Every structure is written in structure tokens, then in C-alpha cells.
Amino acid sequence: MFSKILIANRGEIAVRIIKTCRKLGIATVVVYSEADADSMAVEMADEAVFIGPPPAAQSYLDAAKIIDACQRTGAQAVHPGFGFLSENATFARALESEGIVFIGPNPHAIEAMGDKIESKKFAAKAGVSTVPGHVGEIDDPAHAIKIAEEIGYPVMIKASAGGGGKGIRVAWNRKDVEEGFPAVRAEAKASFGDDRIFIEKFIESPRHVEIQVLGDKHGNVVHLFERECSIQRRNQKVIEEAPSPLLDEATRNAMGEQAVALAKAVGYDSAGTVEFVAGQDKSFFFLEMNTRLQVEHPVTEMITGVDLVEQMIRSAAGQKLPFAQKDLKITGWAVESRIYAEDPYRGFLPSIGRLVRYDPPAEGEAHGTIVRNDAGVREGDEISMFYDPMISKLSTWATTREAAIDAMGRALEDFHIEGLGHNVPFLAAVMDQDRFRSGKLSTNYIKDEFPEGFHGTAPTGFQRDVMAAVGCAMHRVMTRRAAPHLMREDWVVVENGDRRQVRVSNGDDSLTVAFQDDGRSLTLTDVDWRPGKPTFAGKLNGEVFTAAVRPAAEGFVIRHRAAQAHVLVLTPRSAELHEKLPPKKAADTSKMVLSPMPGLVVSLDVTAGQEVRAGEAVAVIEAMKMQNIIRAERDGTVKAVNAKAGDSVAADEVLVEFA
């Protein structure tokens, strides 16, 4: 066994590998670029070696620097994680020639599977069912059209060297091929330095199901069942689960056997994944093999109890697999959500920046469920533009799919991030959808369910109750502090303009909100909130919840999962007056200048008391390396300035308020 391993990667996967090395008593070395000097991986590893500037080509992709780092530290083996050099056979060979072990498959297997055209040929020979199509290079648009018409539309134009969802395009007709062929070719050339293109049948409304395989250097290969990764945007996975709700035992076995047959045919000797595209009728076709650890490996670990990183290290060290196929079984159900720095309300655009707040849910086992959060960041860290904008991978396990999804919903409630756009509300919305819960998945899921994009969800009855109770509780605490003489029992709660009369009273360690119209009452207990805290946790009539809360110019903005409301708590008299006010258009934000994106305040160009005219510059915010001038939308007098140069602001954070 190795005594020291170098990890040629960064972020959550570097941290993930360090954890297993610690368990095995193996010392760790990480390499890091300038952008990662203060990262969690660097802090956790036993040693860290600086390898250059932030762009990956000059650091994480520079094989010579990584080999040099091994030699300087005496690392005997390299774990490449995923991405970067993980599927680079030249790198694996270079290590070998220096006497360093590559923790991954042998270079021959990487080469055979690394290329989509070659791997399809190989798979067909090994008896694996492949997507109907043309297994060979295509030279020009005319050739592409001829092939597409032989296969029959729709077809998929793919880069042979593609990965990470890049270099893929669907064509529904001749015109799409004419336009798509050169576009995919250009993208392939730019992203992978290889412009070989092929075409295959596009399977409509497909599902993505993949088989985890594991081999050793003694000819043994097993599979660790399947994962379903159909919830994708831009051909990239966002939610994965294991097992798949599509498969029955017979299909699972057939897929598993084909995956093992392919792995054996190629002499596979590490962890790898055979990806299939499956029809709703459970037909399935080979897509590609990823010759590395997969992003979504935690769900497999949770249902099998196998540590895949440990097994990769052991087989790289020449050990035999400690189990046979018959020893493996599926226990329970696991779901993974990829938490991305991207703005679901703005077409999932990357939204990098600083994690001003980062407060993940507690990990571990409780009430028969397990929560696991694979992260490589801490509060205050930056999600940089140089690398993948993933913040963490949140996984939950339970004995049934339904319970695992419920646990994920709860864990997402407890995930609090500020400072950049993130997809937590979006993920929560999916967990609450009947279609997702019933397992009717497809890679079109996001397009089907959110045709106009994601704009949050309308609150359910329970969520409206949460918002009313939380609003009353926060209002009561703040009134008691600021104006105790105004304490009273009768209030009117206004949620997104909808008003209800309530009677609010305190018990011992509880707050009761009784609705005057229907006589229902809500009891809030186990409250965890104080003024200034951005989350409000508690139990509502015994049901646990966490809401994200923030004060607005008037009242509060309260979000529970994907539903958000502006909540006001008013005296009956001011509610009456309020009702007479003309309905406000863009809520209260007409009196504020909000930051349109997360970013850094470069300058704030107005001061309290200043008269400002519509169109005048109010502030400059830097985001994604661009300076954006924020202008006043109306004439007015500045009442308050809430930010200053150097602050990190979230999207919609109030920069300036007008009188």
C-alpha cells in the first residue's frame, strides 16, 4: 500500500479523496494554483505544492508540474479526481515511466474508452447495445446530411472527444444539420483540440442511466448497480439518484452484465462508469464510458456501503477486489443535488462570487436518514470564474425513495448561502414536484416542467402558514425590542398582498397565531431565530421547517423552499390605511436601487440627502470581471445608502433607498 498520495485536483473532490486517505493512514499532498492558495483542500492536506497561475492549462492541466511535485514530495501515486487530467492517457503513461502509480485505469483502457467513436466500436464488438448511428468520422456538412438522413431525424451531432455536456447538438431536420455540424465542429476544436464529429440517433424523451463498475489488476470486474441522472440542464447533470426508479431487476441485471462485459473486454482495472441512454420502455443504449471517478459517486456509496475512492486506491496498489458480484446489494435509496453557483431565476447563468454566508445542513445520521455534504469550500471562500461553479454536492439516504427525497427537501431548507446566486430554491422546487416524486423522469424534465424558466413556486397551504407564523414571530420580537408600548394581540398579516386578521399570543416557549376568519390556529415552537439571523427554524404545529428570512424596507421577505413572499404585519388601523393605498407595482422596490447581480461594489456614488435624477449613476458593481453601472430608475432624494465600496452584495440587495 502507498504511504503518500498526491491529489492532482482541487475543490470538493480533493477534500473527498483526502478523507479516504486519512481513513487509510495515507499521507496526502495537494497541488494548488494561485486561486486556491487558501483553499480547504490545501488546509486539510499534509503537504501542498504550488503549481502556478489560476488558468487550468498553466496549473492543474500541466502534467510536468504535477510529476515534479510528486518527485519533490516523494508521493508514490496520483489520484486525478475527475475533469483535468483524469482521462488523459498520456499523463498516465508519463507517470508510469517515472515510476509513479496512476490511481485510475490503465492507459490502454483510457484510450480505448476516451474517444466516443472508438468506444462505440469497441462496445458494439463486446455485445453492448449502442445507439443506432454512424460509427465513424464525418468530414463535411454534405456528408453529415447524408448520414443524418440514413439514420432518420432527429439525430444528435457529437464531438468524438466531447465531455461535460460540450460538443453536442440535436438536429431535427436538414437545416439543423447544416447549421449544427460546423458549430459542433468549432466547439469541439476550441474545447478539446479535436474536431472529429459523429452522428447518432437522438433518443426522444430519454433517461440517463449509468452503471458503476469496479475492477482490479487480476481480471475481476463487478458492477455497483445503477444511478439515474436524468435531471439535466445544458446536457449536464444536476440531480442524481441510486437506484433508478425506471429499472426492474431484469433490466438492472442486463445493464450491469453489459457494463461488466465492456469493462472486461477493455481490461478495466479501476472505478469507471458505463453511461446509457434509456427509453421510457426500458430499452437502453450505450453512450460512453467515463474512465474515472464520477461526480455523482456518493449516491452509489450510500446504497452499497462501498468507499469507491478506497477501492480505487487498493486496486491501483495491486490488491484484489474484496468482494464478488454476489456480495453486493442495494440498501435503501440515495439522492444527490449539485449545489451550483448559478442563478436559476436568470436561466441558470453562472453567478460566481464570494460565499458571504455558507451554512450547510448538519451531516450524519438521524431518524433513519443520512445527510452527506461533499464540499471544498468554507464561508468567506470565493467561487472563482476559473473552475467549475459547483459549491457542493448534497446527498441524502433513506430506506425508501420517498423518504430520501423528503430528507433532501429538508436538507435544502437548512442550506443557507449568501453572496452569490445559487440553485438551492430550484432544487427544492424539484423535490416538491409530483412528477419528480413519482419517478417519471426524462432528460427533458427541466424544459418540460419549467418552460418559461424558473420563477419560484406558489406557496402551498403549509408554506403560507409558515410565512404568516414566521412574520408574526419576527415582528413580535422586533416590536418588543423597539417599541414595547405597541405590543398587542390583534394584527393583520399581509402575504404578497393577501390580508388575514390574526390574534397573536405567547405561551411558554411557544407562539400561537389564530386566524380570525376560519378559527384555525398555528403554534410555533422550538424557534431558532434572533434579529439579524438569516434563517428562521422551528416547528409549526409540530412540523419542522427552516425559512430564509430578510428584512425588507417594510416587513420581511420570507422564503420556504421555492416559495417566497413579502410579509407585512400591521395593526388593523394601518392595514385599513394600507388597503386604501393604490396597489404598488414592483412591490416596494420602486423606492430602492437593488443590485441586479451578485458582485463587488466598486463605488457608491451618492450620499444620503442627495437629489438624484433618473438615469444617473448610483453605484458600480463588478461581477464576472465586468463593471456594471447601476443607474437610478426615477428622480428622488436619497434616504439611505446601504453599501460601500469593497462590499460584496447579493443579487437584489438594497444598495440605496429613496425617501
Residue closest to 428 by CA, chosen among 549, 546, 301: 546
Q: Name the closest residue to Mg ion (Cβ).
A: 275
Instruction: Give 133's strand partners.
Output: 200
Alpha helix positions (H), 483-597? 572-580
Tallying the residues shown for the chain, one arrives at 659
Alpha helix positions (H), 33-78? 40-44, 63-73
Shortest distance, position 210 Cβ to Mg ion, whole Å: 8
Residue closest to 328 by CA, chosen among 212, 219, 206, 154: 212
Shortest distance, position 282 Cβ to ligand ADP, whole Å: 15
Instruction: Give the 3-state DSSP-derived string for 85-96, with helices as H, strands as E and coil as C.
Output: CCCCHHHHHHHH
State yes or no: cis peptide before 132, omega within 30 of 0: no
| Identity of the amino acid at 309 | V
For ligand ADP, the closer of residues 65 and 208 by Cβ is: 208
Question: Do 377 and 36 touch, CB atoms closer than 8 A?
Answer: no
For ligand ADP, the closer of residues 208 and 422 by Cβ is: 208
| CA dist list (Å): 454 to 313, 559, 565 | 42, 15, 16
Interacting partner of 258 out of ligand ADP, Mg ion, none (Cβ under 5 to 8 A depending on kind): none
Residue 217: phi and psi, rounded to 5, are: -85, 15
Interacting partner of 12 out of ligand ADP, Mg ion, none (Cβ under 5 to 8 A depending on kind): none
Q: What angle do CA 515, 518, 523 make, to 5 degrees?
A: 40
Question: Do 424 and 339 touch, CB atoms closer than 8 A?
Answer: yes
CA–CA gap between residue 261 and residue 251 (Å, rounded): 15
CA–CA gap between residue 187 and residue 183 (Å, rounded): 6
Shortest distance, position 289 Cβ to ligand ADP, whole Å: 10
Shortest distance, position 332 Cβ to ligand ADP, whole Å: 22
For ligand ADP, the closer of residues 275 and 418 by Cβ is: 275
Q: Which stretch binds Mg ion (CB under 5 A): 33-41, 273-281, 448-456, 537-545?
A: 273-281
Exactly one of 12, 200, 210, 288 is catalytic; which is it?
288
Number of residues that bind Mg ion (CB under 5 A): 1
Shortest distance, position 163 Cβ to ligand ADP, whole Å: 2
For ligand ADP, the closer of residues 156 and 428 by Cβ is: 156
For Mg ion, the closer of residues 236 and 521 by Cβ is: 236
Residue closest to 278 by CA, chosen among 303, 251, 298, 242: 251
Backbone dihedral region for residue 502 (phi beyond 0: left; psi -120 to 50: alpha; all else: beta): beta
Residue closest to 566 by CA, chosen among 545, 581, 546, 584: 584
CA–CA gap between residue 17 and residue 26 (Å, rounded): 11
For ligand ADP, the closer of residues 340 and 545 by Cβ is: 340
Q: Binders of Mg ion among 401-440, rule CB under 5 A?
A: none
Shortest distance, position 57 Cβ to ligand ADP, whole Å: 11
CA–CA gap between residue 467 and residue 465 (Å, rounded): 5
Residue 573: phi and psi, rounded to 5, are: -65, -50
Interacting partner of 546 out of Mg ion, ligand ADP, none (Cβ under 5 to 8 A depending on kind): none
Judged by DSSP in three states, 18 sits in helix
Shortest distance, position 133 Cβ to ligand ADP, whole Å: 7
> What cell does 583 get?
396597489
Interacting partner of 340 out of Mg ion, ligand ADP, none (Cβ under 5 to 8 A depending on kind): none
204 is catalytic: no
In the chain, what is the straight-line distance between the N-terminal and C-terminal CA atoms, in Å?
70
Build a one-symbol-per-residue string for 202-241: x at contacts with Mg ion by CB under 5 A, - elsewhere: ----------------------------------------
Backbone dihedral region for residue 95 (phi beyond 0: left; psi -120 to 50: alpha; all else: beta): alpha
Q: Which stretch binds Mg ion (CB under 5 A): 193-201, 275-283, 392-400, 528-536?
A: 275-283
Shortest distance, position 455 Cβ to ligand ADP, whole Å: 25
Interacting partner of 83 out of Mg ion, ligand ADP, none (Cβ under 5 to 8 A depending on kind): ligand ADP
Question: Do 222 and 264 touch, CB atoms closer than 8 A?
Answer: no
Interacting partner of 595 out of Mg ion, ligand ADP, none (Cβ under 5 to 8 A depending on kind): none
Q: Which stretch binds Mg ion (CB under 5 A): 221-229, 272-280, 489-497, 633-641?
A: 272-280
Shortest distance, position 390 Cβ to ligand ADP, whole Å: 7
For Mg ion, the closer of residues 169 and 372 by Cβ is: 169
CA–CA gap between residue 197 and residue 455 (Å, rounded): 37
| Identity of the amino acid at 655 | L
Interacting partner of 164 out of ligand ADP, Mg ion, none (Cβ under 5 to 8 A depending on kind): ligand ADP
For Mg ion, the closer of residues 209 and 407 by Cβ is: 209
Interacting partner of 507 out of ligand ADP, Mg ion, none (Cβ under 5 to 8 A depending on kind): none
Q: Which stretch binds Mg ion (CB under 5 A): 226-234, 268-276, 312-320, 502-510?
A: 268-276
Q: Would you tell me which residues interact with ligand ADP (CB under 6 A)?
A: 82-83, 131, 156, 162-165, 168, 192, 200-203, 206, 208, 232, 235-237, 275, 277, 287-288, 290, 294-296, 388, 443
Interacting partner of 231 out of Mg ion, ligand ADP, none (Cβ under 5 to 8 A depending on kind): none
Q: Name the closest residue to ligand ADP (Cβ).
A: 163
Positions marked active-site: 288
Q: Which residues bind Mg ion (CB under 5 A)?
A: 275
